[in-house]
């Protein structure tokens, strides 16, 4: 072997090492974020502000291992195909280091599959479908928000306390709604074997014919209703339900309705007494939430919504993961996120190694019409770690990484 060939053999590994070092030495951490901003502004405008606040805080403290965060956002038009195209553009043109975001469950699943195909780290902030981390879960995808299963499991004990036998179910007919309804029926039946489901309405998401849905539920004469509708569908459903007396003398258990994004829209039409998951932002008496609330109100001169907490924590989680990994390499980030713990406005959370799901919890309580404004009362925080399947159950639900 001649001298040139020998030198080249020694030089190639050296160049590779220097290249990796140069990549890490870049002074930015680029986050590519994709979401349905135009389609779901009530949640995602506060969410974006939460992200901005977190970026500003991290950068003001010197960044992540000396790297300043640069955030690139794209609108997916509430379309999975557009979301994937946006992700491809963020990787190829902006050369982002990680992907994040998604609101709708079907879009979250599309981006999770994209991350798997492209072998890029993806933190799903909001999409709630259980498939995100179970049946369709993969080594590249992690999820922040408490899942559909977790939040339904928090509500079922409250539903059992109502001692109602005849239930009706109403949900948006797409992945999230289908999953929530199926989980509720399964868990409630296990806890209360004599329960009957006497009606089920599944309008297309965003296209509810509220009058027809309300009448169909009333005709079935249920003693209680489990509602999964949200956003404009929820507002229309409540309006028709109030007008037609659907909720009079009936208990309602409702997923997400206690979030200020949706209570703000209901205003003086807010029904009282529903059992809900939500976010009672004004009365959470913990040091970590008070600090977040103060910083958010000082920065934006308004109160936070749940989206604000999700966006803020999403960025903080990525920053902590990169800090722990001491690298932007995907495999090192995956290793770092398995078991990663961090402080959030809701307290400490951990990303489980088994299914990449965080232990972020939710507040469960009741909603009340307080002088024309919807508020949450009689609430308590439910630690997400207490409402997750066991490691053995996860192994049955999820393919190995």
Q: What is the pLDDT of residues 147-192, one digit of tens each?
A: 999 999 999 999 999 999 999 999 999 999 999 999 999 999 999 9
Does 7 have pLDDT greater than 60? no
Structure tokens at 137: 């879960």
Residue 198: inside a domain, yes or no? yes
Shared-domain flag, residues 132 and 156: no
Mean pLDDT across the stretch 295-304? 98
Q: Six-digit token pair at 263?
A: 């209570």
315 band by pLDDT with thresholds 50, 70 and 90: very high
Residue 41 and residue 30 share a domain: yes
Question: Is the same domain home to 132 and 164?
Answer: no
Q: What is the pTM of this model?
A: 0.91
**342-354 mean pLDDT:** 97
Question: Do 68 and 129 belong together in one domain?
Answer: yes
- Has residue 208 been placed in a domain? yes
Higher pLDDT, 386 or 10: 386
pLDDT greater than 70 at residue 23 = no
Same domain flag for 371 and 234: yes
pLDDT at 257 > cutoff 60: yes
Give the pLDDT confidence score for residue 347 in this predicted structure: 97
pLDDT of 41 above 60: yes
Full domain range(s) for residue 82: 10-146+287-297+304-360
**63 in the same domain as 199:** no
pLDDT at 399: 83
Euclidean distance between CA atoms 176 and 96, whole angstroms: 28
Position 5 in a domain: no
Q: What is the pLDDT of residue 277?
A: 98
Same domain, 175 and 268: yes
Query: Residues 154, 276: one domain?
Result: yes
Nearest residue to 123 via CA among 109, 104, 142, 139:
142
In angstroms, rounded to a whole number, what is the distance separating the alpha carbons of residues 124 and 110?
11
Q: What's the pLDDT score for residue 25?
A: 45
In a domain? residue 311? yes
The per-residue pLDDT of the chain, averaged, comes to 94
116 and 183 together in one domain = no
Spatial contact of 322 and 121, defined as CB atoms under 8 Å apart: no
Residues 63 and 116 in one domain: yes
Q: What is the mean pLDDT of residues 197-202?
A: 98
Higher pLDDT, 282 or 26: 282
Residue 336 lies in a domain: yes
Residue 235 falls inside a structural domain: yes
Over residues 5-18, the mean pLDDT reads 49
Query: Measured between alpha carbons, how far is 277 from 280 in angstroms, rounded to an integer?
Result: 10
Confidence of residue 10 (pLDDT cuts 50, 70, 90): low
Crossing angle for the helix pair 287-300 and 306-325, to the nearest 10 degrees: 110
Does residue 21 surpass a pLDDT of 60? no
Q: Is the pLDDT of residue 24 over 50?
A: no
- Residue that finishes a domain, picked among 360, 376, 396: 360
- Domain CATH number, residue 166: 3.40.50.2300
Torsion angle, alpha carbons of 46, 47, 50, 52, to 10: -100
pLDDT at 401: 79
- Pairwise CA distance, residues 211 & 202, whole Å: 13
The answer, yes or no, to whether residue 22 has pLDDT greater than 50, is no
Residues 202 and 351 in one domain: no
Q: Is residue 179 part of a domain?
A: yes
How many domains, in total, are found in the chain?
Answer: 2
94 lies in the same domain as 194: no
99 occurs within a structural domain: yes
Query: Residue 333 pLDDT > 80, yes or no?
Result: yes
């Amino acid at each position: 072997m001649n001298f040139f060939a020998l030198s080249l053999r020694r030089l190639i590994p050296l160049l590779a090492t220097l290249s990796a070092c140069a990549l890490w030495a870049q002074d930015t951490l680029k986050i590519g974020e994709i979401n349905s901003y135009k389609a779901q502004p009530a949640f995602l405008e506060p969410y974006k502000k939460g992200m901005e606040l977190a970026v500003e805080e991290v950068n003001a403290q010197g960044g992540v291992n000396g790297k300043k965060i640069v955030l690139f956002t794209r609108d997916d038009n509430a379309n999975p195909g557009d979301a994937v195209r946006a992700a491809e553009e963020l990787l190829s043109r902006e050369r982002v280091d990680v992907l994040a975001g998604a609101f709708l469950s079907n879009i979250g699943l599309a981006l999770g599959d994209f991350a798997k195909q492209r072998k890029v780290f993806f933190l799903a902030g909001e999409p709630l479908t259980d498939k995100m981390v179970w049946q369709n879960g993969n080594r590249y995808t992690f999820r922040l928000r408490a899942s559909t299963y977790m939040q339904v499991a928090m509500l079922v004990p409250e539903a059992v306390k109502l001692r109602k036998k005849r239930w009706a179910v109403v949900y948006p007919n797409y992945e999230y709604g289908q999953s929530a309804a199926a989980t509720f029926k399964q868990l409630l039946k296990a806890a209360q074997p004599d329960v009957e489901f006497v009606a089920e309405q599944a309008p297309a998401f965003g296209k509810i014919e509220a009058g027809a849905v309300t009448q169909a539920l009333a005709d079935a004469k249920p003693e209680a209703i489990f509602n999964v509708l949200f956003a404009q569908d929820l507002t229309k459903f409540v309006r028709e339900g109030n007008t037609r007396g659907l909720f009079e003398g009936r208990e309602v258990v409702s997923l997400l309705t206690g979030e200020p994004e949706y209570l703000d829209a209901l205003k003086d039409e807010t029904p009282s007494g529903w059992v809900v998951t939500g976010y009672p932002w004004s009365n959470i008496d913990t040091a970590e939430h008070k600090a977040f609330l103060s910083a958010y109100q000082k920065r934006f001169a308004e109160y936070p919504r749940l989206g604000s907490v999700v966006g803020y924590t999403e960025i903080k989680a990525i920053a902590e993961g990169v800090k722990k990994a001491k690298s932007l390499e995907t495999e090192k980030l995956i290793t770092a996120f398995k078991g990663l713990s961090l402080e959030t406005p809701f307290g400490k959370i951990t990303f489980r190694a088994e299914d990449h799901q965080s232990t972020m919890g939710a507040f469960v309580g009741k909603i009340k019409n307080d002088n024309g404004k919807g508020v949450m009362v009689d609430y308590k925080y439910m630690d997400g770690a207490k409402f997750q399947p066991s490691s053995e159950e996860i192994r049955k639900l999820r393919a190995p990484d």
